[in-house]
Amino acid sequence: MEHYYSPSGDVSIRELETVRSIDEATASRFALPPDMTAALEAADGQAGLDPSSVLKRFTASGLSQYNERRDAFGKAGTSGLSRYLNLGALSARTVYEAVLGKPGSESWIRQLAWRDFYLYQAVYNADFFSYEKRYDLSPLTGRYFEAWSRGETGVPIIDAAMAQLNQTGELPNRLRMVAAMFLTKNLLCPFTLGEAYFRKQLADYDNTLNRGGWLWSSSLGYDAAPYFRIMNPTTQSAAHDPTGAYIRTWLPRFAHLSDREIHHPASHAIVDLKASRARAIEVYKGILGYNK
């Protein structure tokens, strides 16, 4: 990446020549969802934070531990920069140059590259914004969507993740994947419902990146997760937060449970993880045409 990288220039935004008008077809294809305004307003609620200060703080104290802590739900190991990148308050070049060569930068730069991966898909993959029209999603229903959105599934890490999202607009990337895959696979819900819900709730919402993540989790789109890959929320929780600190924070009613017990589904969980996984594999095998 360094070999092909072209450093940022010093041209001010007022000196840039921008597109004055966009043809109707292009505007329609890349139009933001009607309800994106709420997400932008939520992100604007953090306007009091200085993006440059957040970047300096991360490079000084968080970057070196990023690779070890980025998936640790209970340790707040993410950079906190996504909202500024998504809104344009910080450019990708600015943050790239700020971390380049510093201990821990390689892992974080890989995550930065994933942003471009989805942005390029949005431009060059004609189906990126219409995969739900390419496949017959009628075997999927919204039966459990409300329980998922309210954090009432009975699966601790899912309910804790939704509690954090609903209360703060924040959610670590791995938990976004776990929650999305649980909704689309274990609960057999169309990804479009979850995509729209994240759109309303995320403080760092980005239309393209959000869709890319949901396509990946639901095994649709380019380079998506194979239909038979289904994250087990209990395993993910135990692996990335062994002591259950994250669940204890967002679901204090479970604080009395042991480090082992706290990760397991409650007796009233809306689905059995093993049975729902097997069912999801068969359903998505049919949706994607592997039964033919």
DSSP letters spanning 228-276: T----HHHHHHHH-TT-HHHHHH-GGGTTS-TTGGGSPPTT-SS-HHHH
pLDDT at 47 over 60: no
Per-residue burial over 11-45, b = 16 or more CB atoms within 10 Å of its CB, e = otherwise:
eeeeeeeeeeeeeeeeeeeeeeeeebeebeebbee
Say if CB 177 and CB 194 are below 8 A apart: no
Give me the pLDDT at residue 104, please: 84
Q: What is the distance, to the nearest Å, from the Cα of residue 108 to the centroid of all Cα atoms in its chain?
A: 16
Report the alpha-carbon distance of residue 273 to residue 236 in Å, rounded. Answer: 13
Say if CB 165 and CB 202 are below 8 A apart: yes
The pLDDT tens digits of the residues spanning 165-174 come to 999 999 999 9
Say if CB 80 and CB 53 are below 8 A apart: no
Please state the rounded mean pLDDT for residues 44-73.
Answer: 80
Do the annotations mark residue 117 as ligand-binding? yes
Give me the pLDDT at residue 3, please: 64
Do the annotations mark residue 82 as ligand-binding? yes
Q: What is the CB-side half-sphere exposure of residue 245 using CA atoms within 13 A?
A: 10
Do the annotations mark residue 246 as ligand-binding? no
Say if CB 283 and CB 139 are below 8 A apart: yes
- Of the ranges 27-31, 85-89, 185-189, the best mean pLDDT one: 185-189
What value does the mean pLDDT of the chain take? 88
Do the annotations mark residue 79 as ligand-binding? yes
The residue type of 250 is W
pLDDT at 207 over 80: yes
Give me the pLDDT at residue 68, please: 83
Report the alpha-carbon distance of residue 205 to residue 202 in Å, rounded. Answer: 5
Report the alpha-carbon distance of residue 135 to residue 284 in Å, rounded. Answer: 10
Record: fold of 132-287:
DNA Cyclobutane Dipyrimidine Photolyase, subunit A; domain 3 (1.10.579)
The pLDDT tens digits of the residues spanning 225-245 come to 899 999 999 999 999 999 999
Give me the pLDDT at residue 38, please: 53
Give me the pLDDT at residue 25, please: 82
Report helix, strand or coil for 179. Answer: helix
Do the annotations mark residue 66 as ligand-binding? yes
Give me the pLDDT at residue 11, please: 66
Give me the pLDDT at residue 33, please: 67
Q: State the residue for tokens 């933001």.
A: 32
Q: How confident is the model at residue 222 (pLDDT cuts 50, 70, 90)?
A: confident
Report the alpha-carbon distance of residue 231 to residue 233 in Å, rounded. Answer: 6
Do the annotations mark residue 25 as ligand-binding? no
Do the annotations mark residue 227 as ligand-binding? no
Record: fold of 34-128:
1.25.40
Domain coordinates of the chain in residue numbers? 34-128, 132-287
Identical fold at 34-128 and 132-287? no
Give me the pLDDT at residue 265, please: 98
pLDDT at 110 over 80: yes
Q: Give percent of the chain with pLDDT exceeding 70.
A: 87
Report helix, strand or coil for 279. Answer: helix
pTM for the whole structure:
0.84
Q: Looking only at Cα atoms, what is the longest distance across the chain?
A: 62
Tokens matching residue 179? 């929650």
Which candidate, 201, 197, 150, places its Cα nearest to that of 171?
A: 201
Do the annotations mark residue 116 as ligand-binding? yes
Q: State the residue for tokens 């943050």.
A: 95
Do the annotations mark residue 115 as ligand-binding? yes
Tokens matching residue 155? 């699966």
Do the annotations mark residue 112 as ligand-binding? yes
The pLDDT tens digits of the residues spanning 27-45 come to 777 776 666 555 445 545 4
Q: What is the CB-side half-sphere exposure of residue 112 using CA atoms within 13 A?
A: 24
